[in-house]
Amino acid sequence: MNLLGNVKFDFMGKRRFALIFSLVLIAISIGSIVTRGLNFGLDFTGGTSVVVNFDKIVELDAIRDALKSNDFIDASVQNFGSAKSVQIKFQTANGDESTKLVKQLKHIVTSLDAKALVGKGDFIGSQVGDELVEQGSLAILYAIIGILLYVTMRFEWRFSLGSVIALVHDVIITVGVFSITQMEFDLTILAALLAVIGYSLNDTIVVFDRVRENFLGLRKKTPTEVFNVSINQTLSRTIITSMTTIIVLVALFVLGGAMIHGFAFALIVGIVIGTYSSIFVASTATLTLGITRKDLMPVEKEGANLDHIP
């Protein structure tokens, strides 16, 4: 059922404004990434992660204050599974320094709770971090290439390029938001980016599937009109899917604890941008590439009309 009734929006009539808006967002994002960079977490920069199990609940601010007063300036403190378990991350250059700082950390923690149990520090070297950056970037690249091939086989190459342009648009802007806000960028954020690619593609495929059907059915309409009709027909589905997903993510962001804040935030930004791009960016790019009804007509095999002759 179409919850929007007979309401029709001229989305493609606003595509030039959407193009300018997207270009501005991309320019701001790239500018921030180049000038400010990303606030990489220990997964990428290297460092030590320690899990501390307290016998009683200790406020995170009290732990942060105690660490800062003992020269752990950039330490990250967050709950780990329960209110009595805390994960502490701090930068270290090598394994020897990590061992030394973990011993110092034990003295700080036991001063807050004498029965606290400090786990073994997990050291991540900078070389591992560099490999994670490389492998993560390749994962996103391979995902986009796979999508390019999939959409080409299922639809047509213009649809494929349109969907990939929209996906690159979503990734750049989402990463740009993390650069602007300087929120920690770790492996969970990388996983969120891959999830955003999948979500955005699914939304785009729904629109493109309807476009293909309407191209074959609405023979008297122009390509621009076909895209407009198709987007309006799928709009209620797009709004319902996006809103229900965002409601869940907002709940995770508010109630899920510090460990999941970045992941939930990345998905919220990605879904908002992905919904916008599936309506404006992917469709506009496909139209600009010159898609027509003829491109979607099945190719008639030579001599097919003679198959009935023995």
In whole angstroms, give the CA distance from residue 8 to residue 3: 12
Domain ranges in the chain are 12-39+127-296, 47-124
Most confident of 182-186, 253-257, 270-274, 283-287: 270-274
In whole angstroms, give the CA distance from residue 57 to residue 161: 53
What CA–CA distances, in Å, run from 108 to 70, 77, 228?
8, 13, 63
The confidence band for 127, taking pLDDT boundaries of 50, 70 and 90, is: low
Q: Is the pLDDT of residue 229 over 90?
A: no
In whole angstroms, give the CA distance from residue 201 to residue 25: 20
For the whole model, what pTM was predicted? 0.76
What CA–CA distances, in Å, run from 142 to 117, 195, 262?
43, 14, 24
Architecture of domain 12-39+127-296: Up-down Bundle (1.20)
Q: Specify the fold of 47-124.
A: Alpha-Beta Plaits (3.30.70)
Q: Which amino acid is at 181?
A: T
| β-bridge pairing 39-40 and 184-185 | parallel
The confidence band for 269, taking pLDDT boundaries of 50, 70 and 90, is: very high
Residue-wise DSSP of 38-58: -EE-HHHH-EEEEEEE-SS--
Whole-number percent of the chain with pLDDT over 70: 83
- pLDDT at res. 306: 45
The confidence band for 216, taking pLDDT boundaries of 50, 70 and 90, is: confident
